[in-house]
């Protein structure tokens, strides 16, 4: 058992982070990247011990946790590479034009770090979105110190990962305060971290209630700060008639899998399947139900999540017009999530906002629309989503333009003929979306673009070449891509150009 | 006289904008750019009539207003070019890797518009940061409809510019609701615009009180929305000893000009001059005072601003330890701003937050530090700023590393040996800065990067080439820069690459 950090401890952590910020932000991109790679090595060194601790604390199976650690290591290494590559810096140079009236000065801009970032570990990704996860890696790449608030559901796992990071801090001669680890189960710890004047940004992955609370605190500060809270979503799947009639069976099997993978505990879990009344929709529902019946319940992350799943599932099933279609044939033990499919019609769905809410776990609701027109109405009424999926033939995409546009407008990632679970770590990934999926749809928490959450542009006007940061010097010593006089280039700037 | 828009009128405007959004966002980059260029032409066609209206409403001189209109036209044209060029789209493509386990899907991401943007006109830039100003141009480039709330200090000017935009709407066959113009003097009009569920972002340039209020409303919505409020700053100038002793006279003349240009009514007006006690600082103050005495007061934008300047000036001068150094030899008539220099010592400055506040108008406070150490303390205690300026020799920049870092950390643009007034419209410009200079230091309101305030990434996963938007197709029909498999390129993607 870990004790909650006291207010004094939190204050002292932030002071230390603030001091470290003044050192760490001056470290070169290469030094930051080497540090991140060293964390990856140390994380790999945690061996079986970390896996067994995480298994005990999260009920997740060994293979998943080994995979998640590998993913975390991949994130650290790939964001380290992105850090050095420097595209994220958005280096822009406009050289002086002395003949202009008045003369145009030399101006050069690049992103610089915001300051200490507080990261709240996620319960459902004890490694990849927690202590050394995506937010931490992005903040380090940006040049920001990090204070991690361990998730109370896996404090030991978090402690072991923190230890690995601290090893890397020492080996790379980083300032002590560049990484700190705080335990806390109470409301007050989170609040004190967000409200501290030296906290300059917050990263969070978790529930709407938690994320929105952090966001509201951050806005109530004397100096509001950016909070990127990824708060999950229902990830609607639109089943278009022709596609469904062609492949009802395949789609049913695919989705039975996607709905229950990881006991449904993914932010991108498909919680809503929207179809048009037809024989093939009936067939699909029957087949999906049969597939779900065959999937045995497995333990959820922790008691709190299982309790919440059961309550939300019961509430959802008790809503007017909602019918239970199928649940797993095997009974669920305590702490297990019972795979469940329910159905309702679009009219009930449109009139009951409760049915739009996430039931975090292996639950999905089929919404029956009378026709495509009603499917359009459903799409127009959906809240912001991390993902939306369209199961459709090419012709159906083309012929349902208005529907497709509505779906685009509600989500951060639009999948065609696939499943939303499984989030690739790559530059083109968007893991974000309109509120309430996240608190700022303009950013992502997966992929190297996530670095930009924690950085801001700083322009240098009229600085002589020798006093500029390397990123902006004429000879481009770092060899990065820059926009020079409106053109992307890696070229050096000749003296002539900069006059 | 214009009547305030009613709540019903505002609701109907936002409904119209929401409908227009579904059309306008599908318009190609070229169509958006042509529309913006057409606005530029129509703005040019406003001729002498617009200038005389603006002169009457703002007291600004003819040459300034003609220059400002030319700047506004330049902004529209240059953001139109940036719109078509498409760098701002941040197109990212990662092609599929089918041999990966599990297979990596094809993912392609680009920025898409947020939705209707409400723009609040600025009093101090009746053209360049008002009705057809930077925020409006950025929103149109992003693909967002705009609702402008006219500034009540120049409603006729705003109406004429709105008319020019509406001409362009017609000539370009744009949907009616793509641009709407709302008059309003009351608190309620602003609130209704920000709180409307179809409003998806807000742009504002003005006072801290106004900007912060809009921001707070936006955060209190059921669905919080991004507000970019540029709220001005004191724009500190750090006078380093050697530089000052070399050029006290030149710097004094330069700054007497920068402090009083446009009756001090620029967001980047230098309101704070920070030096180290020395004979050259004394000399500088005397010379600055003499230069200020020679500058005749001129009328401010409107009665309210003049009243506020006089009150804030009086309050600033009445603070303990503040001494009036010089003011214009000519008396100020009603509505005129009296050029004024005051001085205090760093101790008083450090202990009195009132002295950190902007006195919007031709007023500047000299802060005398005992030594460079104390100048460091002042730099560390400064709030967020749009700009900071360093007057220093190269050696002084190198030898005062800690000071320079502190200054970097508080501002959006750092000028070396120049003046902060005069904001170039170019890609490298950063017109933004840490709170309270703006509500989000990660964005700018000048330069084409300002488009990104009103757009968000949308990823397409597993879409066949023929169904993708042009921006993301294999053959790159728009010829834009894209990051394909982590490399910047304008190249087409071969079928082989995308498999």
- The DSSP string of B325-348 is EEE-SSPPPTTEE--EEEEEEHHH
Cα angle, residue B344 at apex, residues B342 and B349 outer, rounded to 5°:
120
Q: What pLDDT, on a 0 to 100 scale, did the predictor assign at position B499?
A: 39
Q: Which of A61, A62, A36, A35 is nearest to A47 (CA)?
A: A62
Over residues A293-346, the pLDDT tens digits come to 999 999 999 999 999 999 999 999 999 999 999 999 999 898 999 999 999 999
Unique residue bearing structure tokens 């930009």 = A452
d(CA A338, CA A191): 34
Evaluate if residue A472 carries a pLDDT over 70: yes
Q: Of B26, B413, B440, which is closest to A459 when you measure between CB atoms?
A: B413
Q: What pLDDT, on a 0 to 100 scale, did the predictor assign at position B495?
A: 64
Evaluate if residue B496 carries a pLDDT over 70: no
CB contact at 8 A, B492 and B482: no
Over residues A394-426, the pLDDT tens digits come to 999 999 999 999 999 999 999 999 999 999 999
Residue A320, class by beta-carbon neighbours within 10 Å (0-12 exposed, 13-18 middle, 19+ buried)? exposed
Q: State how far Cα A295 lies from the chain centre.
A: 28
Q: Among B435, B459, B484, which would you mutate to test the A interface (most chain A Cβ atoms within 10 Å of its Cβ)?
A: B459
CB contact at 8 A, A280 and A360: no
Give B11's pLDDT tier (boundaries 50, 70, 90). very high
What average pLDDT does the structure give for chain B? 96
B324 touches chain A (CB under 8 A): no
Over residues A35-53, the pLDDT tens digits come to 999 999 999 999 999 999 9
CB contact at 8 A, A274 and A367: yes
d(CA A331, CA B384): 59
A302 touches chain B (CB under 8 A): no
DSSP 8-state assignment for residue A3: P
Phi and psi (nearest 5°) for B289? -60, -45
Q: Set out the domains of chain B in order of their start, with CATH numbers.
A: 7-231+442-454 (3.40.605.10), 236-416 (3.40.309.10)
Q: What pLDDT, on a 0 to 100 scale, did the predictor assign at position B427?
A: 97
A9 is catalytic: no
Q: What pLDDT, on a 0 to 100 scale, did the predictor assign at position B334?
A: 87
Q: How far is A163 from chain B (nearest CA, A)?
A: 30
Residue of B nearest to A429 (CA): B459
Over residues A238-288, the pLDDT tens digits come to 999 999 999 999 999 999 999 999 999 999 999 999 999 999 999 999 999
Q: What pLDDT, on a 0 to 100 scale, did the predictor assign at position B494?
A: 87
B434 touches chain A (CB under 8 A): yes
Over residues A95-107, the pLDDT tens digits come to 999 999 889 999 9
| Cβ <8 Å between B452 and A459 | no
DSSP per-residue string spanning B74-123 = HHHHHHHHHHHH-GGG--EEE--BTTSSSPBPPEEEEEEE-S-EEEEPPS
d(CA B245, CA B147): 52
- Give me A265's structure tokens: 């505990």
Evaluate if residue A228 carries a pLDDT over 70: yes
d(CA A463, CA A107): 8
Unique residue bearing structure tokens 């999530």 = A337
- Give me A488's structure tokens: 């992307």
- Give me A450's structure tokens: 């996530």
Unique residue bearing structure tokens 């989500």 = A411
How many beta carbons lie within 10 A of that of residue A236, not counting itself? 26
| Cβ <8 Å between A224 and B435 | yes
Evaluate if residue A82 carries a pLDDT over 70: yes
Evaluate if residue B168 carries a pLDDT over 70: yes
Q: What pLDDT, on a 0 to 100 scale, did the predictor assign at position B338?
A: 96
Q: Are strands B363-369 and B272-276 parallel, antiparallel or unpaired?
A: parallel
Give A499's pLDDT tier (boundaries 50, 70, 90). very low
Over residues B218-254, the pLDDT tens digits come to 999 999 999 999 999 999 999 999 999 999 999 999 9
Q: State how far Cα B352 lies from the chain centre.
A: 28
Please state, for a pLDDT cut of 90, what percent of chain A lies above it.
97
Q: Among B403, B442, B465, which would you mutate to test the A interface (most chain A Cβ atoms within 10 Å of its Cβ)?
A: B442
d(CA A110, CA B416): 16
d(CA A345, CA A323): 10
Residues of chain A contacting residue B217, judged by C-beta atoms under 8 Å apart: none
Q: Which one is catalytic: A230, A358, A396, A471?
A: A230
Evaluate if residue B394 carries a pLDDT over 60: yes
Q: What pLDDT, on a 0 to 100 scale, did the predictor assign at position A495?
A: 64
Q: Are strands A385-391 and A236-239 parallel, antiparallel or unpaired?
A: parallel
Q: Which of B342, B295, B346 is nearest to B317 (CA)?
A: B342
d(CA B412, CA B384): 8
Q: What pLDDT, on a 0 to 100 scale, did the predictor assign at position A494?
A: 87
pTM tops 0.95: yes
CA torsion, ordered A345, A349, A354, A359, to nearest 10 deg: 60
- Give me B325's structure tokens: 């150094």
Evaluate if residue B137 carries a pLDDT over 70: yes
What average pLDDT does the structure give for chain A? 96
| Residue A109, strand partner residues | A92, A459
Please state, for a pLDDT cut of 70, what percent of chain A lies above it.
99
- Give me A236's structure tokens: 């609607």
d(CA A436, CA A432): 10
Evaluate if residue B450 carries a pLDDT over 60: yes
């Amino acid at each position: 058992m870990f004790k909650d950090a006291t207010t004094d401890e939190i204050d002292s952590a932030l002071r230390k982070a603030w001091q470290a910020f003044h050192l760490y932000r001056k470290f070169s991109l290469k030094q930051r990247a080497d540090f991140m790679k060293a964390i990856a090595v140390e994380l790999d060194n945690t061996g079986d011990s970390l896996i067994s601790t995480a298994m005990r604390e999260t009920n997740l199976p060994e293979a998943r946790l080994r995979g998640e650690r590998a993913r975390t290591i991949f994130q650290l290494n790939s964001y380290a590479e992105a850090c050095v590559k420097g595209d994220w810096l958005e280096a822009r140079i406009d050289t002086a034009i002395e003949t202009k009236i008045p003369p145009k000065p030399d101006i050069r801009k690049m992103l610089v770090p915001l300051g200490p970032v507080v990261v709240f570990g996620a319960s459902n990704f004890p490694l990849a979105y927690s202590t050394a996860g995506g937010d931490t890696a992005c903040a380090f790449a940006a040049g920001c110190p990090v204070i991690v608030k361990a998730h109370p559901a896996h404090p030991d796992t978090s402690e072991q990962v923190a230890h690995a990071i601290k090893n890397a801090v020492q080996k790379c001669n980083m300032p002590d305060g560049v990484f700190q680890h705080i335990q806390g189960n109470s409301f007050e710890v989170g609040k004190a971290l967000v409200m501290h004047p030296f906290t300059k940004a917050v990263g969070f992955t978790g529930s709407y209630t938690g994320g929105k609370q952090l966001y509201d605190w951050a806005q109530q500060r004397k100096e509001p700060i950016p909070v990127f809270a990824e708060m999950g979503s229902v990830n609607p799947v639109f089943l278009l008639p022709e596609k469904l009639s062609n492949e009802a069976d395949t789609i049913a099997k695919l989705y039975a899998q996607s709905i229950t993978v990881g006991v449904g505990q993914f932010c991108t879990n498909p919680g809503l399947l929207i179809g048009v009344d037809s024989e093939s929709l009936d067939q699909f529902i029957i087949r999906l139900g049969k597939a779900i019946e065959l999937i045995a319940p497995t333990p959820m992350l922790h008691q709190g999540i299982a309790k919440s799943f059961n309550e939300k599932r019961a509430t959802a099933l008790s809503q007017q017009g909602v019918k239970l279609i199928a649940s797993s044939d095997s009974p669920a033990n305590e702490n297990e999530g019972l795979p469940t499919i329910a159905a309702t019609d679009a009219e009930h769905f449109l009139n009951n906002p409760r049915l739009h809410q996430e039931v975090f776990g292996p639950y999905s609701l089929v919404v029956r629309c009378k026709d495509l027109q009603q499917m359009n109405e459903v799409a127009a009424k959906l809240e912001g989503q991390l993902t939306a999926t369209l199961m459709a033939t090419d012709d159906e995409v083309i012929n349902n333009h208005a529907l497709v546009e509505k779906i685009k407008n509600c989500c951060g990632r639009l999948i065609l003929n696939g499943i939303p679970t499984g989030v690739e770590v790559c530059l083109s990934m968007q893991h974000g979306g309109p509120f309430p999926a996240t608190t700022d749809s303009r950013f992502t928490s997966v992929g190297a673009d996530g670095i930009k959450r924690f950085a801001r542009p700083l322009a240098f006007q009229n600085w002589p070449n020798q006093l500029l940061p390397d990123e902006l010097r004429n000879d481009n010593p770092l060899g990065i891509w820059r926009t020079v006089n409106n053109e992307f280039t890696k070229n050096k700037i000749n003296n002539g150009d900069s006059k």
